[in-house]
Chain A
């Protein structure tokens, strides 16, 4: 049961982070392709956006792996 719980944690963390990262990163690429001189400003905002999106799923990945390996 712990393995299943860990697998579900890993799957949902990956799905959530993947969708969030894709949204932020896709808009960044569109912005840079349209206006290359704004790359610096867009870069910082994208970086913060990806960090915000990924902070929680990475905790879920860590605990999911621990659950799969039977530590939790």
Chain B
């Protein structure tokens, strides 16, 4: 079984909930450019987290099979270029997407991942199992 599956499922589910809430905000409020920037930033953030998970899993499988610790990298430049692409898209369409909220949305999934795993670890280690 893929050891990453529960972690990935939790992150994707919570980010999907956040994106749905942002989409409703985009539909119902006049702050469309701010919300669109946040949606773009959160999408890039989710891609970054899932790409990082894939690279770490592949490197772990390679190390487990061969016993070698030579890694092919974690794709850091790729993730940073995705952030640059989101900023460039926001700059290309300034009437639709606000650049500042893209920058605020980019670290959302990382923070969400840390909080979710902290909460899950606390829930598993507590005596009642309820957190």
Contact = CB atoms under 8 A, between A and B. Distances in A.
A43 B60 CA distance: 8
Interface of B: 3-4, 7, 48-49, 52-53, 56-57, 59-60, 63-64, 66-69, 71, 74, 76, 79-80, 83-84, 87, 91, 99-100, 102-103, 106-107, 110-111, 113-114, 117
* Interface of A, helix, strand, loop or mixed by DSSP: helix
A50 to B, nearest CB: 6
Contacts of B49: 51
A61 to B, nearest CB: 5
| Among B7, B56, B91: residue with most chain A CB under 10 A | B56
- Of the four ranges (under 10, 10 to 19, 20 to 34, 35 or more), the interface on chain A belongs to 35 or more
| Among B3, B60, B63, B106: residue with most chain A CB under 10 A | B60
Contacts of B52: 47, 50-51, 54
Contacts of A69: 87, 91
